[in-house]
Amino acid sequence: MCISNRLPVDRVIADDGTAQWKTSPGGLVTAMEPVMREQGGAWVGWPGVADEDVEPFSDGTIDIYPVALSEEEVQDFYEGFSNDTIWPLYHDVIAPPAYHREWWVAYQRVNQRFAEAAAAISANGATVWVHDYQLQLVPRILRSIRPDLTIGYFNHIPFPAYGIFSQLPWRKQIINGVLGADVIGFQRPADAGNFQRSVRRLLGYETKSARVLEPQSDGSFRPIVAKSFPISIDSAGFERLARQPEVQARAKEIRSQLGEEKTIILGVDRLDYTKGIRHRLKAYGELLEDGRLSVENTTLVQVASPSRERVETYRQLRDEIELTVGRLNGDFGSIADTAVHYLHHGYPREEMAALYLAADVMLVTALRDGMNLVAKEYAATRFDRRGVLVLSEFAGASDELKQALLINPHDIEGLKDAIVQAVTMPVSEQEKRMRSLRRRVAEYDVARWSRSFLNALEESHARRLVAEAA
Ligand code: F6P
């Protein structure tokens, strides 16, 4: 069973009051949806709108169990504690986290509700996989209600250094909540190391390589695995999609609409301050200003899908980005040529694959990112071995995708040079790099990721049975 804040589908209520389901945004759903479709099982989560009491239903092989949130809980638990406290804190305080006691109260209450919903439908001895920062208290609550369960927790976003994490007024409760799991997964070894250090500093527990030893009342220790399991995508699925004639036709159409002869530079992100969109626009604008690029022969397509639109930091970011795009187009565009095509929409996978196929250069300039699956999707899609990935070293994907042009997005000169290098890269070098990126993404796909996490859970379950029998 899988528990995450969002279900794989969001309930969307139209103006006329009719309701529809559509695919939810974010990396978690991109990764977990194919895994759950393949394996089947229950998925407990919030349907994405306030005050909607939806009955459980089946979506193909997945049994959906909606957990309702009131409007106040959406504000305090989701927009507040999850996305205005934990999110900025765990992304190295790029934006200042806000600490409000009433948000913490809501976070505890909602985590309790998710844990109870999962406990009520789990078979005896079942395996439950809890996902992400919105539900860090669920493992401990679940263990206390259902000690028979084997519990995994995966943190999809970074886990910060102790000096940052320790700002959190409820740091001990959070660490203790996560430690209710048997296996705790992180994106990068550095995240797992940061977590273990916080455990040592805050709780004084011993850690041994990938294990945390939690003292028990009888003097024994419960071993908890805490290590990195870098997440991935359904690579073969993306390639299949890219090979579909309709997707290829759409890619051609995009190219001809943007200008056949132009170099297309692409950015695809949730509109989030962690993604480095401002840095990217600054670098691109300076390249136009310096004359190293021109709108006659390049264009930037920026897809920025709407996200967390009622949180003030996100509103401000949107305003800044839209102002900058407007300036760039005003300063450098002409009737014939547009500097930046800015698209504030979410798109279906088919359209994304067509955009990836059409793009000569993919820009991933995150200031901090757990993994960044867009980088992996781009490589999986490019079966023609063309295209160049410019990738931030602050995205987890840079641990694996070494043949990308790795950049520090804060270093605007370095970013500009990398963009020019990408735009002018000879085809033979593109092919060499892309072949290596694609090999990595094909080998370490999402099925392998989930297998290795679930194997670790199984091993931990087996160890427990042996310990109980002794
Ligand atoms: O993978 C990171 C993640 O934050 C998920 O936890 C989240 O569901 C998704 O991206 C999108 O964010 P949101 O659910 O706030 O729209």
Please tell me the distance between residue 346's alpha carbon and the centre of ligand 1 in angstroms: 14
In a mutational test of the pocket of ligand 1, which residue from 4, 5, 7, 273 has the highest number of ligand atoms less than 8 Å from its CB? 5
Nearest to residue 333, comparing CAs of 288, 273, 369?
288
The minimum-distance atom of ligand 1 relative to the CA of 28 is: 1
Nearest to residue 24, comparing CAs of 309, 349, 275?
349
Pairing assessment for the beta strands 298-305 and 211-215 based on DSSP bridges: unpaired
**Looking at residue 466, what is its pLDDT?**
87
**Looking at residue 386, what is its pLDDT?**
98
Block residue for tokens 């790029």:
94
The minimum-distance atom of ligand 1 relative to the CA of 134 is: 6
The minimum-distance atom of ligand 1 relative to the CA of 307 is: 16
The minimum-distance atom of ligand 1 relative to the CA of 83 is: 15
In a mutational test of the pocket of ligand 1, which residue from 4, 7, 28, 82 has the highest number of ligand atoms less than 8 Å from its CB? 28
Q: How many angstroms separate the Cα of 398 from the Cα of each of 32, 205, 394, 404?
A: 21, 31, 7, 8
The mean pLDDT value for 71-77 works out to 98
Please tell me the distance between residue 90's alpha carbon and the centre of ligand 1 in angstroms: 13
The mean pLDDT value for 16-27 works out to 88
The answer for 187, left when phi > 0, alpha when psi is -120 to 50, beta otherwise, is alpha
The mean pLDDT value for 353-366 works out to 98
pTM for this one? 0.96
Q: How many angstroms separate the Cα of 332 from the Cα of each of 23, 94, 107, 326, 383?
A: 36, 30, 47, 10, 34
Tell me the pLDDT tens digit for each residue of 185-234: 999 999 999 999 999 999 999 999 999 999 999 999 999 999 999 999 99
Tell me the pLDDT tens digit for each residue of 112-156: 999 999 999 999 999 999 999 999 999 999 999 999 999 999 999
Please tell me the distance between residue 25's alpha carbon and the centre of ligand 1 in angstroms: 7
**Looking at residue 27, what is its pLDDT?**
87
CB atoms closer than 10 angstroms to residue 255: 18
Please tell me the distance between residue 22's alpha carbon and the centre of ligand 1 in angstroms: 15
Pocket of ligand 1 (CB under 6 A): 5-6, 25-28, 83, 132, 156-157, 307-308
In whole angstroms, give the CA distance from residue 228 to residue 230.
6
Give strand pairing partners of 6.
46
The mean pLDDT value for 287-306 works out to 98
The minimum-distance atom of ligand 1 relative to the CA of 270 is: 11
CA dihedral sign of residues 262, 267, 268, 272: negative
Please tell me the distance between residue 372's alpha carbon and the centre of ligand 1 in angstroms: 12
Protein residue with its CA nearest to atom 12 in ligand 1: 26
Q: Which amino acid is at 463?
A: R
**pLDDT at 26 > cutoff 90:** no
* Whether the Cβ atoms of residue 232 and residue 446 lie closer than 8 Å to each other: yes
